[in-house]
Amino acid sequence: MAANHTTAVAITQNPFRLAVMSDLEALDALEQQSFDSDRLSRRSLRHWIKAHHGILLLSEDDGGLLGYGLVWLHKGTRLARLYSLAVAQRARGQGVGAALLSQLEKLTAARGRIFMRLEVAKSNASAIGLYERQGYRVFGEYSDYYEDHSDALRMQKRIRVAHAEGGVSADIQCIPWYQQTTEFTCGPASLMMAMASQIDSGVTDDAIGFAATAAEVQPSQELELDIWREATTIFMTSGHGGCHPLGLALSARRRGFDAEVYLNTERPLFIESVRNEDKKQVIALVHQQFLDRAKQHGVNVVYEDVSQSVLSDWLAAGFAVMVLISTYRLDGKKAPHWVCLTHIDEHCLYVHDPDLTQGQQLPLDCQHLPIAREDFDKMSAFGSERLRTAIAIRRSPVDKEC
């Protein structure tokens, strides 16, 4: 839903409160009056009134509802999204929209979020003006975004200053986002994003090799499943196995990329995720096969904790980077999950998350997700053994087979 309706310029003092279920009728009426398309349904409004991961704030006077603003709080990240903002016709031009937005920013920042994002119709000059006056800046554009096929601008503002160590920054990488098509292929999806970013950036010294590799790493479900078969640990927890960092690195080598892997243990990975001894033996055997092949095909393995400094150095050197995280802070399931790193600044690490299964997320909500440095440090240690691992790949000057 776009946050694209208001013409307010003068801030007024209006009482605010969180919505309750008895506000549903008034909210639905305001929604119908405010938007010709992309409306929130009564069911959605009911959901957001009760949702713990949202803030539905009302402004009202003695005459009733003046406006509302809805913010979606992304679990496990420091990102919030202004999901919708509506002002009653009788209240427009009185500063209600600006006042609602300011109050929402305060409440959102108090919930630990650092960034607020929103989408606004490219043709809505008054709303764009409001957001710019509030400190929002354009960082993207989407064609055919709304139901009426109009385009949208994407805007962002830092609403809270995080206190974190370090002052590292790097240019954000232009990494295409890809959605994993199965529950167990986050690793292949992240690797495809990483490889595609290297091809798109033209990092190559060999024109013939570039052409061959560009076709080979075009993200697709076929390639996604091919990589999974090459990199899987066979077993993990319940169901299908995940992807071993060395297996993913070898998949990258097959397609003409140099690869480096950081591991903070020399023991077989993920072996504690299964109880059956036969499965443990298989996982251990697969681990050893990956080790042998990594040595044979020139995958550099460093047995150290991967620090945020190392991740930053990789990005600065032009590598595409994948990191294994635990999903506990995202969905409470404590599953290993691969993401693609896109940027680091003094406050946050930013990732492309290939998983689009949480709540009502849209693809754009999984791109360049900001995670505070201290939060990322906790998320990037998986399981009781606190496994930390990451992969860096970079286009080789000449394709090499493995």
Query: Which residues in the chain are classed under CATH 3.90.70.10?
Result: 186-395
Q: Nearest-CA neighbor of 143 among 119, 167, 165?
A: 119
**pLDDT value for 295:** 97
Which three-class secondary structure state does DSSP give residue 353?
A: coil
Could you give the C-alpha distances from 76 to 185, 298, 355, 366, in angstroms and in order? 21, 36, 13, 12
Q: Which residues of 38-67 are buried (b: 16+ CB within 10 A; e: fewer)?
A: bbbeeebbeebbebeebbbbbbbeeeebbb
Is the whole model's pTM more than 0.85, yes or no? no
pLDDT of residue 56: 98
* Average pLDDT, consecutive stretches of 10 residues, N- to C-terminus, the chain (402 residues): 41 74 96 91 96 95 94 89 94 93 94 91 92 90 84 89 40 82 96 90 42 70 97 86 96 95 96 91 97 97 97 96 89 86 90 79 80 91 93 76 42
pLDDT at 39: 92
- Domain(s) of CATH 3.40.630.30: residues in the chain: 16-158
pLDDT confidence of residue 86: 95
Domain 16-158 has CATH 3.40.630.30: yes
- Return the CATH superfamily for domain 186-395: Cysteine proteinases (3.90.70.10)
How big is the chain by its Cα radius of gyration, in Å?
A: 23
Tell how far CA 331 is from the center of its chain: 13
**Residues 192, 14: Cα–Cα separation, whole Å:** 50
